[in-house]
Amino acid sequence: MLKDNIKKARLDAGLTQLEVAEKLGVAQAQYARWENGGRNPKDDTVEKLAEILNTSFEILKGRDDGLEEIVSLLREHELTEEDKNQIISLLQDFLINNSMYDELPTPNPKKKK
C-alpha cells in the first residue's frame, strides 16, 4: 500500500516526518495522514516524495517489479561498455542456467567485415 511504501522509504532515507514535510512544503500533520492512510497524496506529490526519498514513483505506488533496485545499483557506478557487456553476459548465463529463457539476444553483436 502507498502509506506503507512512503513510510518505509522515509525510514530507509533516515528522515523524520517533519523533515519530509518541510522539504515538501506541507504541514507535518498532513504528511502523517499520508503515512497513516487517512488520505492519499496526489500523483505529483508522490513524484516529489520519490525525489526527496531517493526512490521511484513506481516503488511508492507499489508497482515495482524488482528491477528498480538493480538499476539504481548499476547507476551508482560509472560502467564502461565492457563492464555493461560483462554484466549482460552474466545475467544471460544465470537465466539460461536456471531455465528462465530458451534464447536471449547477445550484447552488442559484432558485425562481420
Do residues 101 and 51 share a domain? no
85 shares a domain with 43: no
- Domains: count for the chain: 2
Q: Is residue 25 part of a domain?
A: yes
In angstroms, rounded to a whole number, what is the distance separating the alpha carbons of residues 106 and 113?
18
> What is the domain range of residue 7?
2-61
**Alpha-carbon span 60 to 5, nearest angstrom:** 5
* CATH code of 32's domain: 1.10.260.40
Do 55 and 93 belong together in one domain?
no
* Pair (55, 82) in one structural domain: no
| Residues 42 and 91 reside in one and the same domain | no
55 and 99 housed in the same domain: no
Whether the full predicted model's pTM is greater than 0.75, yes or no, is no
Q: Are residues 85 and 56 in the same domain?
A: no
Phi, psi of 56 (to 5 degrees): -115, 160
Note whether 7 and 57 are same-domain residues. Answer: yes
Highest mean pLDDT (candidates 16-20, 59-63, 86-90, 101-105): 16-20
Q: Per-residue pLDDT tens for 68-103?
A: 678 778 888 888 999 999 999 998 888 888 765 555
Whole-number pLDDT of residue 113: 43
Please check whether residue 33 is in contact with residue 24, taking contact to mean a CB–CB distance below 8 angstroms.
no
Q: Are 6 and 56 within one domain?
A: yes
CB 21 within 8 A of CB 28: yes
Q: CA neighbours within 13 Å on the CB side: how many for 8?
A: 11
Classify residue 70: in a domain, yes or no. no
Tell me if 82 is assigned to some domain: yes
In which region does residue 103 sit, left (phi positive, over 0), alpha (psi from -120 to 50) or beta (all else)?
beta
Q: What is the pLDDT of residue 74?
A: 84
What are the tens digits of pLDDT across the range 24-52? 999 999 999 999 998 899 999 999 999 99
Q: Label each residue of 74-100 as H, E or C.
A: HHCCCCCHHHHHHHHHHHHHHHHHCCC
